[in-house]
Chain A
Amino acid sequence: MNRKLVNIVLIVLAVAIVIVIGKDFIGKKAGKNIENPFEYNMDEFRKVDSTQILYAETFHFPLKIHDWAGITVSDSMIIVASANHLLKFDYSGKQIFGKQLIDTATCITIDENRQIWIGMSHYVVMYDINGTLVKRWNSFGDRALFTSLAVSGENVFVADAGNRIVYHCNTNGQIIRRIGEKNEQKEIPGFIIPSPYFDVAIDDGGFLWAANTGRHTFENYNADGSLRTSWGVTSFKIEGFSGCCNPAHIAILDDNSFITSEKGMPRIKIYDQHGQFIGIVAPPAAFEGSLAPDITVDKQHRVIALDFERQQIRIFERKKE
């Protein structure tokens, strides 16, 4: 009898607990689905005119390791640096090479002699195409944070977001010139780099371009470090750049048109050599999250994106007219 009573009490209590927990769970679930009256809504800006989309994604493949640093391309070979590895893929996504790096990579590029240059936050290394370490520069100090490299002949340009400067170096890492230091007499506004997004690229004429991301401008420098020209548009509209640190990544095609990749509301666009908006490579709808994909371009004018959110390499090709 006693045992029966204990059982009944226990069961009643158990049912009560289940009801309380269930109610709490349902309440929470319902609560989790209510609308946000303070939503930061960018839906309007995500919409684009589909006739402006000039490229289509033709292929993508997944990356199995994380902490990617950057992407570059050569001879139909896609080369990516993760924090600790250097990997090569063919365009079908097959990994054809992999090697552990000596340190944590932050950026990568390849030169015309197929030498791979990697920024290691505060110093630079160079590997040959087979992954043999050939050069290791001295450190540029604790404040340095290398975010981009561009190589033209014997000239290596290093974007340092930490010191907000571009170093023009020889291939051994000796500084030839500091580019972009604020100088009112020479009308150089100085780089405004609020966060570590600071890309450089070389155009067909061998001239340096740097993305002054805090000002939404592209700046073009002469060999002597003087400002040659610049362009940029601050706007949330598709033609412009907005928010802090855009365009986060840049690449230049061999016809000197610019490819840009933005953070916040990721999108990839194309501009002509004078900075005139031409169209969209990949609209905001093609991306999740807010990280800007790193980008590179090949001789066939394909745009290859390293999508940090999806952990994919994505290949975009110009649509046929």
Chain B
Amino acid sequence: MSDKKEPKSIERRRFIRGGMQMALAVSLGGVAGFSLLKSTSKELVWQLDPFKCVQCGRCATECVMTPSAVKCVHAYDLCGYCDLCGGYLKPDSNARSTAAENQLCPTAAIKRKYIEEPYFEYVIEENLCIGCAKCVAGCTSFGNGSLHLQVRHDRCENCNDCAIARVCPADAFQRVPVDNPYLIKGGFTKGGTSKDQLKKG
């Protein structure tokens, strides 16, 4: 037996090797733990942040559901109730005519109701909405941004790895608590999309 110290280089090699093993073990443990947490976490659901969304169209094309579980919702308290709604009318439309060819929505999912001259209320028919965000882009550019997208939890499968979140260019998707599953811009008070109804979904 010798109590002679090993040369410093061997000591260093052993230290590095030990450190690498530890780092790998920790990182693998971390990845496994994170995946486990993600896959078993039933108290979290997917939602998109409407302030991050850049209306890329992928909510319509990438969701595993057909049509998409993402729908346009309307923050009525933000809406200007404009006759010249940028989310309802094509930019080059004759604003005074709301004929089908002037409507921006590819599925005519936005219904317009006359309130009083010159105010109109816009209601989304969710069964028709495919979550394409075209109206959101129009409303954000020319209106008050009251039209926005949300994952509707009465339709969403809450996939472990949300297919839209994977490709969202704005990284707008996140996990939110199931008891507070919406990241809404304003209040929903009309057309069957009250905040409470959204919660129930």
CB atoms of A40 and B21 under 8 A apart: no
CB atoms of A195 and B80 under 8 A apart: yes
Most buried by B among A24, A28, A39, A244: A244
Bound-state CA distance A146–B50 (Å) is 28
| Given A14-B24, A31-B166, A214-B84, A195 and B106 contact (CB-CB distance below 8 Å) | no
CB atoms of A194 and B81 under 8 A apart: yes
Determine how close the nearest CB of chain A comes to the CB of B165; give it in whole angstroms: 9
Determine how close the nearest CB of chain A comes to the CB of B163; give it in whole angstroms: 9
Which one of A7, A28, A290 lies within 8 Å of B140 (CB-CB)?
Answer: A290
- CB-contacts of B164-200 with A (<8 A): 166-169
CB atoms of B142 and A264 under 8 A apart: yes
Q: A7-B17, A14-B28, A214-B83 are in contact. List 4 more A-B contacts (CB 8 A).
A: A36-B57, A234-B95, A243-B86, A290-B142
CB atoms of B144 and A195 under 8 A apart: yes
B80 surroundings in chain A (CB, below 8 A): 194-195, 214, 244-245
Query: What are the nearest 6 A-B pairs in CB distance?
Result: A194-B80, A243-B142, A31-B167, A40-B137, A36-B57, A38-B132
User: What would 18 A/B residue contacts be, using CB atoms closer than 8 Å?
Assistant: A11-B24, A14-B28, A37-B61, A38-B134, A194-B79, A194-B144, A214-B82, A214-B83, A214-B84, A236-B91, A243-B142, A244-B84, A244-B142, A244-B143, A244-B144, A245-B80, A264-B142, A290-B141
CB atoms of B169 and A32 under 8 A apart: yes
CB atoms of B142 and A263 under 8 A apart: yes
Interface size on B, residues (CB 8 A): 43
- CB-contacts of B95-139 with A (<8 A): 95-96, 104, 106, 118, 132-134, 137-138
CB atoms of B166 and A24 under 8 A apart: yes
Closest to A27 in B: B166
CB atoms of A28 and B166 under 8 A apart: yes
Which one of A40, A236, A264 lies within 8 Å of B55 (CB-CB)?
Answer: A40
Which one of A38, A263, A265 lies within 8 Å of B133 (CB-CB)?
Answer: A38
- A1 on the interface (CB 8 Å rule)? no
CB atoms of A17 and B28 under 8 A apart: yes
A245 surroundings in chain B (CB, below 8 A): 80, 82, 142-143
Closest to A37 in B: B57
What 1/0 flags go to A1-45 for Cβ under 8 Å of B? Answer: 000001100110110010000001001100110101111101011
Bound-state CA distance A167–B52 (Å) is 38
Bound-state CA distance A31–B95 (Å) is 36
Which A residues are within 8 Å of any B CB, using their own CB? 6-7, 10-11, 13-14, 17, 24, 27-28, 31-32, 34, 36-40, 42, 44-45, 192, 194-195, 214-216, 234, 236, 242-245, 263-265, 290
A242 surroundings in chain B (CB, below 8 A): 84, 91, 95, 142
Closest to B136 in A: A40
A38 surroundings in chain B (CB, below 8 A): 57, 60, 106, 132-134
Determine how close the nearest CB of chain B comes to the CB of A142; give it in whole angstroms: 15
CB atoms of B83 and A243 under 8 A apart: no
- B6 on the interface (CB 8 Å rule)? no
Closest to A45 in B: B91
- B25 on the interface (CB 8 Å rule)? yes
Bound-state CA distance A52–B79 (Å) is 35
Which one of A17, A24, A243 lies within 8 Å of B141 (CB-CB)?
Answer: A243
| Given A13-B28, A243-B86, A244-B82, A236 and B143 contact (CB-CB distance below 8 Å) | no
Bound-state CA distance A244–B84 (Å) is 6
Bound-state CA distance A34–B62 (Å) is 11
A10 surroundings in chain B (CB, below 8 A): 21, 24-25, 28
| Given A17-B28, A45-B92, A244 and B85 contact (CB-CB distance below 8 Å) | yes
B64 surroundings in chain A (CB, below 8 A): none
| Given A236-B92, A244-B82, A40 and B166 contact (CB-CB distance below 8 Å) | no
